[in-house]
Amino acid sequence: MARIRVKDLRLRTYVGIKEEEINNKQDVLINLTILYSAEDAVQVNDIEHALNYRTITKAIIAHVEGNRFALLERLTQEILDLVMTHQAVRYAEVEVDKPHALRFAESVSITLAGHR
């Protein structure tokens, strides 16, 4: 089983329920962990036999930056759903951080996971 990690993907989107959050894009940090069977990729050494993390990341960027979210939970679930559309994915974990969401805290994050 191969483990792909995408660390600190920094995007800007509308996320929150306060007027300021609804009207202004904010930074979010996204961390992904994806498990898939990489036997073919290891043996053949060809991208056609691997899970293309670039394709997954580009889809996440387009979705996050092109939509609005009231809750971090919804944003996190939609990212997880995008990752899980790839049949090779056996397990995925998505963490979304919203920096400075609380006074005196570096960030607030939500983590969701899925498996097949």
At 44-90, the pLDDT tens digits run: 888 888 999 999 999 999 999 999 999 999 999 999 999 999 999 99
pTM, two decimal places: 0.93
Rounded to whole angstroms, what are the CA distances from 62 to 40, 46, 47? 29, 26, 22
Q: How many other CB atoms sit within 10 Å of the CB of residue 75? A: 26
If pLDDT is split at 50, 70 and 90, which confidence band does 101 have? Answer: confident
